[in-house]
Amino acid sequence: MEFNSASPNTISVFSTLASPFDENSNSSTRKPLSLWPGMYHSPVTNALWETRSKIFERLFDPPLDAPPQSELLNKTPSDSRTSILYNFSTDYILREQYRDPWNEVRIGKLLEDLDALAGTISVKHCSDVDSMTRPLYLVTASVDRMVLKKPISVDTDLKMVGAVIWVGFSSIEIQLDVIQPANGNSDPSESVALTANFIFVARDYKTGKAAPVNRLCPKTEAEKLLYEAAEARNNLRKRKRGGDKKEIENGGVNRLEELLAEGRIFCDMPALADRDTILLKDTRLENSLICQPQQRNIHGRIFGGFLMLRAFELAFSTVYAFAGLMPSFLEVDHVNFLRPVDVGDFLRFKSCVLYTEHEYTDQPLINVEVVAHVTRPEQRSSEVSNRFYFTFTVRPEAVPTNTQFRIRKVVPATEEEARRVLERMDADHLHSI
């Protein structure tokens, strides 16, 4: 069959993405198409690439035989500080790429951008001045917390800014702020719409072992306070790793039994169960996908921001189906990146409502867990790659118009479910202290 592009019935399709490489450069210096970063996620990924220097290009084809960095450098938070500006007020096409059905910014796409920006900042901090050394392999370990302070409009310009605020031996904490002034308000604290803290870890490309990162030297009082707070959070994380199970075993047996008691009524005597209560398993939703090359990052693995987007949108749907009203996002409580996800992996996302809080009737809280599994049918195996925890409420303007509205209490039916609920309740309590 012969294709005739000159036919009046033929519509030619062209790429809407610009090449990240100089069209006038020698073709021998260009990287193969297969090594391009995942440019298909959002305009921010492309914008970050356009501003990257030669140290970023080395990550495509790291010189594994080169020696590791011999001397750690002293860097300040300002050395890694990076900003992204969204010109929503003047760029209609950009605005449409981020618009959600309520004329606000689509949170899932913002999660992608936050992860991309945090990755760029981590590479900036860890780079050295010697182009002959091999670079570090940096991966997202977790999102400590992300809080939405106010709705984010898609019609007003938006700024995303971040910097490294703390480092350990091989770990880095990055704080990101999304800023959008409201009605001409110039107060910086009133302009912050969202805050997020990402944890990255450094690995040696050749050995795969933890690698030391450049030191951080905070200069200003504000930078020193951020460093101290991050240090305290890191110490708390270390204590929690060894203390969760012991705490439930020593002091949480009664709490565990109380949670399970209501669930047993549902399982054993469903006709007598409280109609305002529902089993955790009955709130579940699930979706699955095959991971595609367009979703990869500069290391060839699946982009963490893409995983967060998919998890967020499943969590949103879970709350919508559970509450019966349009959800309103409040925060990402925690995200764990437990193992990398590769191109071609069969990925399954499973969600459920873990528990609800409705002491405050004007803003009931709905806590959702999303777990991502890498499933390998050939090997009859399934491993957890990520755990995501989100908190939602419902849009307050929708409540008065719905006289049937109520938020049900969610109860576990198994001990394993009850333990997960208690762990998240305790983690949320520590965040609020």
Mean pLDDT of 387-392: 95
What mean pLDDT comes out for the span 333-348? 90
335 half-sphere exposure, CB direction, 13 A CA radius: 28
Q: What is the pLDDT of residue 184?
A: 58
Q: Which helix (H) or strand (E) holds 167?
A: strand 158-167
- For residue 26, pLDDT beyond 80: no
**What is the model's pLDDT at position 247?**
53
DSSP-assigned states of every residue in 363-404:
S-EEEEEEEEEEEEGGGTEEEEEEEEEEEEEE-GGGSTT-TT
Confidence of residue 34 (pLDDT cuts 50, 70, 90): very low
18-27, 75-84, 166-175, 419-428: the lowest-pLDDT one: 18-27
What is 316-364 written as a DSSP string?
A: HHHHHHHHSS-EEEEEEEEEEE-S--BTT-EEEEEEEEEEEE-SSTTS-
Q: Residue 13 has what pLDDT?
A: 45
Which pLDDT band, with edges at 50, 70 and 90, does 194 fall under? very high
The mean pLDDT value for 265-286 works out to 83
Q: Could you read off the pLDDT of 97-119 as tens digits, one per residue?
A: 899 988 899 999 999 899 989 98
* pLDDT tier for residue 216 given thresholds of 50, 70 and 90: very high
Instruction: State both tokens at 285.
Output: 């939703």
Q: How far apart are CA 430 and CA 418, in angstroms?
A: 19
Q: What mean pLDDT do residues 252-266 have?
A: 77
pLDDT at 331: 94
Looking at residue 366, its pLDDT comes to: 94
| pLDDT at 4 (0 to 100) | 57
Between 295 and 420, the higher pLDDT residue? 420
The pLDDT of 335-364, averaged and rounded, is: 88
Residue 15 has pLDDT above 50, yes or no: no
Please say if the pLDDT value at position 172 is more than 50: yes
Contacts (Cβ under 8 Å, ≥6 apart) of 409 = 262, 274, 276, 277, 278, 355, 356
Task: Give the residue-averaged pLDDT of 274-287.
Answer: 89
pLDDT reported for residue 241: 64
Residue 424 has pLDDT above 70, yes or no: yes
pLDDT tops 50 at residue 242: yes
Residue 38 has pLDDT above 60, yes or no: no
User: What's the mean per-residue pLDDT of the chain?
Assistant: 81
Instruction: Tell me which of 23 and 238 has the higher pLDDT.
Output: 238
At 220, the amino acid letter reads: T
Say yes or no to pLDDT of 68 above 80: no
Choose among 65, 59, 78: nearest CA to 127: 59
Percent of the chain with pLDDT over 70: 75
In whole angstroms, what is the distance from residue 147 CA to residue 167 CA? 22
Q: List beta partners, residue 351.
A: 285, 370
CA distance 226 to 166: 8
Helix (H, G, I), strand (E, B) or coil at 266: helix
Mean pLDDT confidence for 134-158: 89
* Residue 88 dihedral angles phi and psi, to the nearest 5°: -65, -35
pLDDT value, residue 25 = 45
More confident residue, 269 or 324: 324
Q: Does 201 score more than 70 pLDDT?
A: yes
Mean pLDDT for 311-331 is 94
Instruction: At 359, list the tokens.
Output: 């002491």
Contact between residue 367 and residue 422 where contact means Cβ atoms under 8 Å apart: no
Give the residue with greater pLDDT, 270 vs 101.
Answer: 101
pLDDT score, position 156: 92
The per-residue pLDDT for 27 is: 44
Model confidence at 39: pLDDT above 60: no
Residue 296's pLDDT band, with cuts at 50, 70 and 90, is confident
